[in-house]
């Protein structure tokens, strides 16, 4: 494989900037641009050692730097790797990268280092995807789940299922191929036992997927309520408090299209927050229909009411919209005297929280209620979890094939038909772990990574 280089640290000024070079010629490329003060060549250093020196381009000094040497296969990519840590000004790191490219390295594609790690057998596909999830993690729980996947929790689970299917398929094949040998045939009971065991394991992963996604990716959430109840105030309380981590995603047509708020184990994706600030009066200005539409698209609704006023018709309309949905009632302005008919709310929502956005009171209760509404409180981040749609669909297809095998066994058709379905399930699981993923699938996965990872 060719030798590639990229800036591996963020594209912003920082204390240090790292240019990573990986491939067969990594050491000689680095030796062309880096001169250690000791005079030693990097290619003569042992793996896991560092050298202090200077980086040069066309004979001109760019910066002082430290070069870290990793020797194949003991590196992130499994190849020879040199990481040059220079000062973190963007200019310096860019010049160092340019020097490496002129010295013979090619520019690394997005995710190329991790892709190489996968292709060189340093990690399976689920671990590689976990690397991306760690980088994108928006909450403590999301990070724990991703670290766990990086550690191979999902891989081990999938591998255990596929190994038991492979063992069964091999035993069945041996019995067919060597009828004269005294190979014991699998009884229908044994075969069905193995298949039911696999079905259970896959079923568990599949049933945890939605809740896992809520933890990892967050849930689409809308804040609704009649004018002046404190929707914007609630939003500010959520995004402004130290407890919550806020990530804003820049959009093309608006300043902000989505804000992610992490509060405890809950991650809320608050879309259309620009709309919230703009109109300020949901029901009156944008109309019940639009509020309804917004609520329909959301996986979680925060319906805001005013503690200091009696319920109005508009409030009733909001309550009606929330019927049958995953909605939490947020009664705001508890610092004022109560006029609201509390029981009319509590009886119609699964969860009600009292807050005062003005006094920043009630956040802990809100946090608990959100975790309950989303089910994230019980989510075990140490258990194996499917991390994305790709893994989910592989798992689902494998489960379908196992069901087909069970069905074939029950209906008494030949073992051949059972075997075909088992093979199909094995193939889907192998695609999940990357043992059998096609080049285009692999390329697609890594293209979503950032450059330098
Ligand atoms: P929205 O129209 O629903 O977005 O409501 P706003 O967030 O703009 O708030 C409407 C008014 O209520 C503003 O004057 C806020 O200062 C006030 N307000 C919001 N939250 C509270 C609260 O907890 N207590 C009190 N006393 N006033 C509040």
- Which of 378, 393, 417 marks a domain boundary? 378
The range of the structural domain enclosing residue 369 comes to 215-378
364 and 235 share one domain: yes
Structural domains counted in the chain: 3
DSSP string, 209-264: HHHHHHHHT-EEEEEE-STTSSHHHHHHHHHHSTTSEEEEEE-SSSSEEEEEEEET
CB of 230 shorter than 6 A to ligand 1: yes
Class of residue 109 by CB neighbours under 10 A (exposed 0-12, middle 13-18, buried 19+):
middle
- Which of 322, 347, 378 marks a domain boundary? 378
- Which of 225, 226, 228, 234, when mutated, tests ligand 1's pocket best, judged by the most ligand atoms within 8 Å of its CB? 228
104 and 242 share one domain: no
* 304 C-alpha to ligand 1 centroid (Å): 11
CB of 223 shorter than 6 A to ligand 1: no
220 and 363 share one domain: yes
CB of 362 shorter than 6 A to ligand 1: no
Residue 135 domain-assigned? Answer: no
311 and 420 share one domain: no
CB of 229 shorter than 6 A to ligand 1: yes
User: Cα–Cα distance between 20 and 43 in angstroms, integer?
Assistant: 15
228 and 361 share one domain: yes
CA of 357, closest atom in ligand 1 = 23
User: Cα–Cα distance between 25 and 130 in angstroms, integer?
Assistant: 28
Q: Which two tokens stand for residue 179?
A: 């009828």
248 and 360 share one domain: yes
222 and 248 share one domain: yes
202 and 349 share one domain: no
343 and 231 share one domain: yes
Per-residue pLDDT of the chain (453 residues; tens, 9 = 90+): 899 999 999 888 888 999 999 999 999 999 999 999 999 999 999 999 999 999 999 889 999 999 999 999 999 999 999 999 999 878 999 999 999 999 999 999 999 999 999 999 999 999 999 988 888 887 788 888 889 888 899 999 999 999 999 999 988 877 767 666 666 677 888 999 999 999 999 999 999 998 888 888 888 899 988 888 988 889 888 887 655 555 555 443 334 446 788 887 788 988 655 444 444 444 445 567 777 888 888 889 999 999 999 999 999 999 999 999 999 999 999 999 999 999 999 999 999 999 999 999 999 999 999 988 988 878 888 889 999 999 999 999 999 999 999 999 999 888 888 999 999 999 999 999 998 888 888 888 888 888 888
Contact 33, 134 (CB under 8 A): no
Give me the pLDDT at residue 253, please. Answer: 34
Residue 312 domain-assigned? Answer: yes
337 and 400 share one domain: no
* 229 C-alpha to ligand 1 centroid (Å): 6
* 269 C-alpha to ligand 1 centroid (Å): 22
362 and 393 share one domain: no
CB-facing half-sphere around the CA of 286: CA atoms within 13 A: 19
Give me the pLDDT at residue 252, please. Answer: 37
CB of 228 shorter than 6 A to ligand 1: yes
């Amino acid at each position: 494989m060719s030798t590639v280089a990229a800036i591996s640290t963020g594209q912003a000024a920082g204390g240090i900037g790292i240019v990573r070079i990986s491939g067969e010629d990594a050491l000689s490329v680095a030796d062309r641009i880096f001169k250690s003060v000791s005079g030693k060549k990097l290619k003569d250093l042992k793996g896991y050692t560092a050298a202090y020196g200077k980086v040069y381009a066309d004979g001109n000094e760019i910066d002082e730097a430290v070069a870290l040497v990793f020797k194949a296969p003991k590196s992130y990519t499994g190849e020879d790797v040199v990481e040059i840590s220079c000062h973190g000004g963007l200019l310096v790191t860019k010049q160092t990268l340019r020097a490496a490219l002129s010295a013979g390295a090619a520019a690394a594609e997005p995710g190329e280092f991790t892709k190489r790690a996968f292709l060189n057998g340093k990690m399976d596909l689920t671990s590689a995807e976990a690397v991306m999830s760690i980088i994108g993690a928006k909450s403590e729980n999301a990070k724990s789940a991703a670290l766990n996947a990086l550690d191979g929790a999902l891989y081990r689970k999938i591998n255990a299922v596929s190994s038991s299917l492979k063992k069964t398929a091999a035993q069945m094949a041996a019995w067919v191929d060597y009828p004269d040998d005294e190979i014991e045939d699998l009884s229908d009971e044994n075969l069905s036992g193995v298949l039911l065991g696999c079905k259970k394991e896959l079923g568990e992963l599949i049933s945890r997927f939605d809740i896992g996604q809520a933890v990892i990716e967050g849930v689409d959430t809308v804040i609704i309520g009649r004018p002046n109840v404190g929707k914007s105030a609630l939003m500010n309380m959520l995004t402004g408090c130290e407890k919550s981590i806020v990530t804003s995603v820049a959009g093309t047509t608006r300043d902000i299209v989505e804000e992610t708020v992490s509060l405890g184990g809950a991650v809320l994706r608050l879309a259309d927050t620009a709309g919230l600030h703009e109109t300020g009066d949901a029901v009156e200005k944008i109309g019940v229909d639009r509020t309804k539409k917004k609520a329909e698209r959301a996986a979680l609704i925060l319906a805001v009411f005013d503690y200091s006023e009696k319920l109005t018709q508009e409030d009733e309309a909001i309550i009606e919209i929330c019927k049958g949905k995953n909605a939490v009632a947020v009664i705001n302005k508890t610092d004022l005297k109560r006029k609201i008919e509390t029981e009319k709310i509590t009886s119609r929502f699964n969860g009600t929280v009292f807050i005062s956005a003005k006094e920043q009171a009630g956040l802990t209760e809100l946090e608990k209620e959100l975790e309950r509404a989303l089910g994230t409180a019980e989510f075990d981040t140490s258990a194996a979890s499917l991390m994305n749609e790709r893994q989910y669909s592989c798992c689902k297809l494998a489960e379908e094939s196992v069901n087909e095998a069970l069905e074939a066994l029950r209906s008494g058709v030949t073992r051949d038909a059972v075997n075909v379905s088992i093979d199909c399930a094995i193939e889907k699981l192998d695609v999940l772990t990357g043992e059998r993923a096609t080049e285009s699938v692999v390329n697609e996965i890594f293209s979503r990574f950032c450059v330098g990872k």
